[in-house]
Structure 1
């Protein structure tokens, strides 16, 4: 079954029989399509899954860029009646983790139950200002995408594809570059941090510091792989998230 919520078409729903839903928040520059495989595994395991889409890509290509991470989260929350899909489990990868955190703050403040937040390869909100400088030029963004992995290098050689990707990445990086959060800002939902053991972009201490952002339970676990370890461990991560 689906959630029964009347979401716009750019919010992708995958049916499941378990109560509630897992909401997936993509990485910077990432489109919902990049997480179809993960959502499909969750759905096959009976967990309803929903993937949100940020502006400036795919079927939201013409939607104006949003200025801040908080505004992105507010816009996503305003896209439908999330109480109809609750209780929610949130899963955010890289930048998606802090978007999911801000979404959780909004949801909890407005009475929508959030069971857990899974922060995947994303630094804790209070550490974002400590992160590496974000690229801004086309050349810097392209080099950053190659360094991170997760995008087929052959696709990056396609000028049209690369132009659209950089447009989305730069919009997300502009929003992320203005983000800051105090260490004592918390949500009630449990937080589970996940990372790749060989991820050179997300320090372990940044994942550990997610603990300060929950009044609930905290765990931290690593998988073999780099920043996009998830691509090699869809089933294992889906089983963890589905047991929330």
Structure 2
């Protein structure tokens, strides 16, 4: 049972979906993504007994007025400092796209602070050591909008709403700038298991970029592909939730 976990004092920007399973799961959204976008996935995990927490990055939702993080590592430190995660025992992390990099840095920082991360699920994300050599992602309004359309995953009708874009673009820009500043050597490894997931038709993150996650763990590594593109998760919520909850 959850027991003392019910007494946790959560920041208003950490959304909890209670479950009874021993290993708590933290979900890290993609670049520009809000916690609300992962409500269905978190509910699917919770339905399988997984105590699930979805975090919110600055510049959106309840954190609209919070200053943007300069780096991915800063984002990870922000998430780690938001709660005494050690109370929950060993953790499981799930991150989509940039969220997997935030999870990776969270894992590194957690080890220094006595917080155990047992597993990192890296979804539709290139391996940490491949980012620095990649083409920078765009940061101007016009290029950002084109990139969002190219990736999919956002309702096209919303992208025609000026008020929505006024909220969305600063959040995406903040995350993209943090992504562009990210670097990680091939020798950087964590003790957590790394499980990589991806979409067969993802034209942004190919299988080679996904498979290179293996060099970043001293523990187990698995690799699973699904039909679909960069946001394959939207079409495979139950399958992925079942896979994550069974480990």
Identify the TM-score tier after normalising by the shorter chain: over 0.9
Question: Pick from 12, 15, 20: which aligns with 2:18?
Answer: 15
Q: CA RMSD in A?
A: 1.0
Question: Pick from 83, 98, 108: which aligns with 1:105?
Answer: 108
Q: Could you say which residue in structure 2 is the equivalent of 1:228? A: 231
Aligned-partner SS, 1:130: coil
Q: Could you say which residue in structure 2 is the equivalent of 1:145? A: 148
Query: What's the offset of the Cα at 1:112?
Result: 1.2
Q: Does 1:219 align with 2:218?
A: no
Distance in 2 (CA, whole Å) between partners of 1:70 and 1:17 is 30
Stretches (4+) displaced over 2 A: 1-5, 130-133
Distance in 2 (CA, whole Å) between partners of 1:151 and 1:242 is 26
Query: What's the offset of the Cα at 1:20?
Result: 2.3
- Runs of 5+ consecutive residues of structure 2 not aligned to the other structure: none
Q: Does 1:51 align with 2:75?
A: no
Q: Could you say which residue in structure 2 is the equivalent of 1:173? A: 176
Q: Could you say which residue in structure 2 is the equivalent of 1:72? A: 75
Q: Could you say which residue in structure 2 is the equivalent of 1:239? A: 242
Q: Deviations over 1:17-71 (max 9, x none)?
A: 1112110000000000000000000000101110010000011000011101111
Distance in 1 (CA, whole Å) between partners of 2:20 and 2:52 is 11
Query: What's the offset of the Cα at 1:83?
Result: 0.7
TM-score by length of 1: 0.98
Aligned-partner SS, 2:131: helix
Query: What's the offset of the Cα at 1:6?
Result: 1.4
Q: Could you say which residue in structure 1 is the equivalent of 2:213? A: 210
Q: Deviations over 1:3-25 (max 9, x none)?
A: 33212010011100111211000
Report the more deviating stretch, 38-47 or 124-133.
124-133
Distance in 1 (CA, whole Å) between partners of 2:203 and 2:62 is 32
TM-score by length of 2: 0.97
How many pairs does the alignment contain? 244
